[in-house]
Amino acid sequence: MITVHHLNNSRSQRVLWLLEELGAPYEVKRYERSAATMLAPPELRAIHPLGKSPVIEENGVVTAETGAIIEQILASHPGNALTPPAGSEAARRVTYWLHYAEGSAMTPLLLKLVFGALPKRSPGLVRPLVNAISGKAQSSFIDPQIAAHSAYWEGELSKAAWFAGDQFTAADIMMSFPLEACSARAPFGQDKPHCRAFLERIHSRPAYQRALERGGPYAYA
């Protein structure tokens, strides 16, 4: 059985959701972020040297990185409804979105989180300077990048209900976190109706809701 080392308010929620969609048995070992630093506790380093989540264990093998975990779980459940036929355009798109979600989409969102927190974590004497630098970095680079990515998502979702096409796939599970994180900071407005509709669709899925029950409270940002 798979053991999911699950950190609260983290990307590991997607792994729980995937397993619920597949109807696969699993165990959850919970970890809580530090209230002071919002970092994972040191206990996770006993599972994986980087001490981050998600991490799964199965038959004594430890696997980290959400995309790798999802690929491994899908491969161990052949014929599942979340994987389009090999060689199809939908399968190609699933592979693309599995890599894009962490490789491209999350980078500016992470930078937004880091630069937004810098002024609050700076000594009082230099806080005005840090605030100015942080604001300039966000307005000149980070925010335009996030806007470009969210416009890209909107364009893709305007063509079909799901990221790989007309069928719900693992790509939608993987892409859920970037859209949720983006929406948590600035809810999608009238110019992003397809992004808003996507979030409404995934949040209404029974497997998504069951994963929340197993994983506990989930704040995206």
- In terms of Cβ atoms closer than 10 Å to its own Cβ (0-12, 13-18, 19+), residue 148 is exposed
**29-to-43, 49, 92, 207, 212 alpha-carbon distances in Å:** 11, 17, 33, 19, 14
| pLDDT score, position 217 | 76
Q: Taking 70 as the threshold, does the pLDDT of residue 168 lie above it?
A: yes
Tell me the domain boundaries of the chain: 2-80, 89-205
The whole-number pLDDT of residue 81 equals 93
pTM for this model (two decimals): 0.92
pLDDT digits (tens, 9 = 90+) for 77-90: 999 999 999 999 99
Are the C-beta atoms of residues 31 and 41 closer than 8 Å to each other?
yes
Is it the case that residue 156 has pLDDT exceeding 80?
Answer: yes
pLDDT digits (tens, 9 = 90+) for 173-204: 999 999 999 998 888 989 999 999 999 999 99
pLDDT at 220: 56
Whole-number percent of the chain with pLDDT over 70: 99
Res. 221: pLDDT tops 60: no
CATH number for 2-80 (one of 3.30.1360.200, 3.50.50.60, 3.40.30.10, 3.40.109.10): it is: 3.40.30.10
pLDDT in tens, 46-99: 899 988 889 999 998 999 999 999 999 999 999 999 999 999 999 999 999 999
CATH annotation of 89-205: 1.20.1050.10
Q: What was the pLDDT predicted at 123?
A: 87
